[in-house]
Amino acid sequence: MSLLHLSFYSSFTLSCLGLAFHRTHLISALLCLESMMLSMYIALSIWPAETQTTSTTLIPILMLTFSACEAGTGLAMLVASTRTHGSDHLHNLNLLQC
């Protein structure tokens, strides 16, 4: 395993661990999700160059598009929950009260 692959795997794993353990605020969960998407985007961007193929060059662009949609939706949820509940703490959000 090269140093490049190790850095991608470790950044993805650390962001998963951050999402699992630091779930007090919605903004920290969104940042962990964005770091996961960023590490996956970089890995998918480097992969066609390593394998010398051109058939998978559209996949990183599609993933970046979905990541931008996810970020916009997450920020809209953050603003909506802050307006209705007064804070972005995840323990204030309950699906049974919606």
Residue 97 within a domain: no
Look at residue 51 and tell me whether its pLDDT is greater than 60: yes
Q: Which residue has the higher pLDDT, 88 or 75?
A: 75
Query: Which residues constitute the domain of residue 51?
Result: 3-92
Residue 62 within a domain: yes
Least confident of 3-17, 38-52, 71-85: 38-52
pLDDT at 96: 59
Number of domains into which the chain is organized: 1
The pTM of the whole model exceeds 0.85: no
Contact 78, 33 (CB under 8 A): no
Q: What is the DSSP string of 30-86?
A: HHHHHHHHHHHHHHHHHHHHHHT-STTSSHHHHHHHHHHHHHHHHHHHHHHHHHHHS
Q: Is 56 exposed, middle or buried (0-12, 13-18, 19+ CB in 10 A)?
A: exposed
Residue 36 within a domain: yes
Residue 22 within a domain: yes
Distances (CA, A) of 34 to 6, 42, 49, 54: 19, 12, 23, 26
Residue 94 and residue 79: Cα distance in Å, rounded? 16
Look at residue 97 and tell me whether its pLDDT is greater than 70: no
Indicate which CATH number applies to the domain containing 23.
Answer: 1.10.287.3510
pLDDT above 70 covers a percentage of the chain that reads: 94
pLDDT at 17: 94
Residue 84 within a domain: yes
